[in-house]
A and B are shown apart, each in its own frame.
Chain A
Amino acid sequence: MAANTVPGAPRSPTIVPVLVVLALGIALPFLLTSGFHLRLAMLVWIYAILCMGFNLLYGYSGQISLGSPAFYAIGGYAFAMLQTMLGMGPVSAFVGSLLLVAVLSLLIGLPLLRLRTHYLAMATLAFMLVQNGVANRWINFTGGQSGVAVPPLEWGGEPIGRMGIYFVILALAAAVFIFHDFLIRSHLGRAMQAIRDDETAAQALGVKVTRMKLAVLVLSAVMAAIAGVCFGITSLRVDPSLSEFHVLVSLLTIVVVGGLGTRFGPILGSIIVVLLPQLLHEFGELETVVYGLFILLFLLFLPHGLSGLLERREWRLRRTEKKPAPAVTRNLKEELP
């Protein structure tokens, strides 16, 4: 069923658009004047990292896990605690938190990936609620509501300024983005899509389904943890709000608005979701209503999201250039709404 809704990924070369996006990212802080805008830009990249992991997991492999915010929070907490409690340096704390999340997601994934569709969604949601509950309630360890302070990043004894932190986050986002893009274009990306469209068929074709699903889950959890660490270094504090429901709603909105199983979807979606509340401020109390209606309109009128719109057009152009046989054209027309 998912086959109808997600476009098959076009495998056009994307090095140029990727470089354009990254160049825009580098130019951005020089164009923005206030610190608030820079913070919004950082949030865009943080959400983009988080959602690229989710995109691989749900958009490409068809495994809906609502537990991403939990790994996002755990990554942030681990980064903070490894520094404050064990006295690690930021780099080793970063690596340590990613390893921790990788191991944890492996342990969670082994039993849970037996579940399908709604059952998997609910089980991972339960995991998120457990994580959030513990973060909120184990006050001696996690600081409860007020969370844990993250030591500011330093370079040669001097704390790094806002701009520097932006570039640290941009570098991490760029790494994740390029990796995400590489993975999608490789045979692994096609294997993931095969799992999404028909697990049994994929298995018959020699895709190691279980191993692949587990690998993607761990990967997406690690990406979420990177996002959590980035959030920690921008806000200098991590608290239970990282794994609250509104993060999950933002996450789902980003992948839907940006486009499920598309290459630039997570970034386009993040831009919309971070900036939209700023624009909706003038609606005052109507803000929430308008926000919900906006998601609905996107679902109804742009079923493949913003990125789907762009990539699809590109795909169609490429197809028509090749002048396919009539039979193929008819098939394509049936596929395209």
Chain B
Amino acid sequence: MLMKLSYLLLAGLTNGSVYGLIGLSLSVIYGSSRVINFAQGEFVMLGAMCAVLFMVTLALPWPLAMLAMIAVVVVAALALDYGVYRPLMKRKAAPLTIMIGTLAGAIVVYGLAFLLWGPDQRYVPPVLSLTPMRIGFLVTNAQQISLIAIFFAFLVATWYLLYRTRFGLTVRATGVNPKVALLMGIRSERIVQFSFIFSATISGVAGMMVGPLLGGHVGMGLLLTVKGFMAAILGGLGSPFAAAAGGIAIGMMEALMAGYGTSLYAEPAIFVLILLVLIVRPYGLLGDYEAERR
């Protein structure tokens, strides 16, 4: 009984960490640029597929592979920044038009990945060992534990960066009003660029870690983007931590519903729940920040 519950909660925490990391990275970008990045899940996909490329095909040791993977996602993030965000901002496009632009970017990334890896499910090598180990009555493995640890590490790092450094202050200022921030000597474009790179790195690392647990194929990005959004919306878009909490909540609900109800309806049921939450609290569960801004 307790075994099953704890097992489910651990599984939920694992998937929730990935959704939370995507939600976190989405809301970092949203916070500095007011843009929802539809290509976020593609970074996770790139993370997982680069693990295949660098660790299996090229047989690099994992620290090198991770650096190479980060280089790849940073290039993708820069391409998104220079190819989609900046030109559209110059045209004074509406935020939702930019969102459609990032969707087009996601299609391009997906298409390129499809050329490289094809449509099949790939074996993603684990970075750390997948052998089961016991902690108390929990059965887990090093990969799972490290994913959850990475989630909390990124959470703390983001908090420190945004709220405890001068640089974080400039990031938050850009989010509140880019024009005024520019007048105060903050290079807003650089800040947005940084937020793209930062969140792409987070998502890429999440992808590399979750690859062996979820399995990797080039079409995985889309559903992850959607779940990341749902996480960010459920928690509240304004704050990265609310978004991360939303991700954990979604992962937990999913696991519990699969464990105690039917796994068949777990996904639709989650979306129904999110709809209900939004109806009751239109700015997300923890979304007061956003409500204040208006």
Question: A residues near B, CB below 8 A?
Answer: 1-2, 4-6, 58, 64, 111-112, 114-119, 121-123, 125-127, 129-130, 133-134, 137, 245, 249, 252, 256, 260, 285-293, 295-296, 299-300, 303, 337
Contact = CB atoms under 8 A, between A and B. Distances in A.
Interface stretch (B111-119, B148-156, B172-180): B111-119
B84 interface: yes
Nearest to B219: A245
A245 B222 contact: yes
B233 A118 contact: yes
Contacts of A293: 104, 108
B105 A286 contact: no
Given A121-B96, A287-B111, A299-B88, A129 B226 contact: yes
B275 interface: yes
Given A5-B97, A121-B99, 12 more contacts: A1-B94, A119-B237, A119-B283, A126-B230, A134-B268, A256-B97, A288-B111, A288-B114, A289-B108, A289-B115, A291-B111, A300-B88
A64 B230 CA distance: 16
A64 B94 CA distance: 12
B84 A296 contact: yes
**Considering the complex of A and B, which 10 residue pairs feature the smallest CB-CB distances, nearest first?**
A288-B111, A292-B107, A133-B268, A289-B111, A292-B108, A295-B104, A126-B271, A111-B279, A122-B233, A296-B104
Interface string B69-110: 000000000000001100110011111110111011111101
A150 B77 CA distance: 46
B105 A296 contact: yes
A125 B96 CA distance: 14
B241 to A, nearest CB: 18
5 contacts: A4-B92, A122-B229, A123-B275, A137-B264, A288-B111
Contacts of A119: 233, 237, 278, 282-284
Contacts of B265: 133, 137
Nearest to A112: B279
Contact of A286 (B97, B111, B229): B111
A262 B267 CA distance: 37
Contacts of B222: 245
B100 A299 contact: yes
A2 B99 CA distance: 13
A127 to B, nearest CB: 6
Interface string B232-268: 0100010000000000000000000000000011011
Given A123-B278, A293-B108, A130 B272 contact: yes
B44 interface: no
Interface residues of B, number: 45
A336 B105 CA distance: 27
Contacts of A256: 97, 100
B108 A285 contact: no
A119 B100 CA distance: 15
A291 B112 CA distance: 11
A14 to B, nearest CB: 25
Nearest to B110: A288
Contacts of A114: 279, 282
In this complex, the member of A1, A112, A114 whose beta carbon has the largest number of chain B beta carbons within 10 angstroms is A1
A43 B278 CA distance: 35
B21 to A, nearest CB: 18
B274 interface: yes
Contacts of A287: 111
B278 to A, nearest CB: 5
